Amino acid sequence: MPEPFLEVVVEADLQRRVGELAAAIDEEYADKEPIFLGVLQGSVPFLADLVRQLRAPVEIDFLALTRFGEEGRVSIALDTAIDLTDRHVVVVEDIIDTGLTLTALHRFLEMRDVASVATVTLLDKAPRRIVDVPLEYRGFEVGDEFLLGYGLDWEGRYRNLRSLWAALDLTILKEDPDALVPLTYGRLGV
């Protein structure tokens, strides 16, 4: 039987790529005092690492979105604390899958009269895109495997893993959501 879980990006490779993204963003935003807007909860580890590799000062804020069903109706579950009017906003996402969430977020931000919007996503699941949505910065392009760790969850679990894992057989997680725990947690450096 093939391994049901595979470590696909190790911590050092994640951190190296995050550094490259930070350098590219620094070049574009040197004098713009941007707000890094994390989409809760998945963006938190990535955002924390990304902003600490930037050279320029930035502000940080968060919002949470709720998606209803497969048709992709999206509403704001938790709004920002900072007024975004006339600000340069860098949306920080863990993964862009169908693109429905990000498309809705763009519409919300347009209504807020922001100065500009760009998106940085750690992962781009390009083969699953339903709506085309602009992506200015992407860490890795990935296939359609279900990924876990470094922000990404299964039923709320695994977000604090330092590396990225693929679940190759989802029936195993559906039967036992903790199936990946023994392979990861408790092992120093994971």
| Closest to Mg ion by CB, 41 or 53 | 41
Binding partner of residue 97 among Mg ion, ligand IMP, none, CB cut-off 5 to 8 Å per kind: ligand IMP
Q: Which residue has the tokens 């807020």?
A: 112
**Pair 125, 95: CB distance under 8 Å:** yes
Q: Residue 131 gets which letter from DSSP? A: S
Binding partner of residue 151 among ligand IMP, Mg ion, none, CB cut-off 5 to 8 Å per kind: none
Asked if 146 interacts with ligand IMP (CB under 6 A), we say yes
Binding part of the chain for ligand IMP, among 48-56, 88-96, 168-176, 179-187 by CB under 6 A, reads 88-96
Asked if 140 interacts with ligand IMP (CB under 6 A), we say no
Among 53, 80, 98, 116, the residue binding ligand IMP under the rule CB under 6 A is 98
List residues with catalytic annotation. Answer: 97
Strand partners, 68: 73
Binding part of the chain for Mg ion, among 39-47, 133-141, 168-176, 181-189 by CB under 5 A, reads 39-47
**Pair 59, 34: CB distance under 8 Å:** yes
**Which x/- pattern, by CB under 5 A, does the window 40-59 give for Mg ion?**
--x-----------------
Task: Please give the Cα distance from 84 to 82 (Å, whole number).
Answer: 6
Asked if 44 interacts with ligand IMP (CB under 6 A), we say no
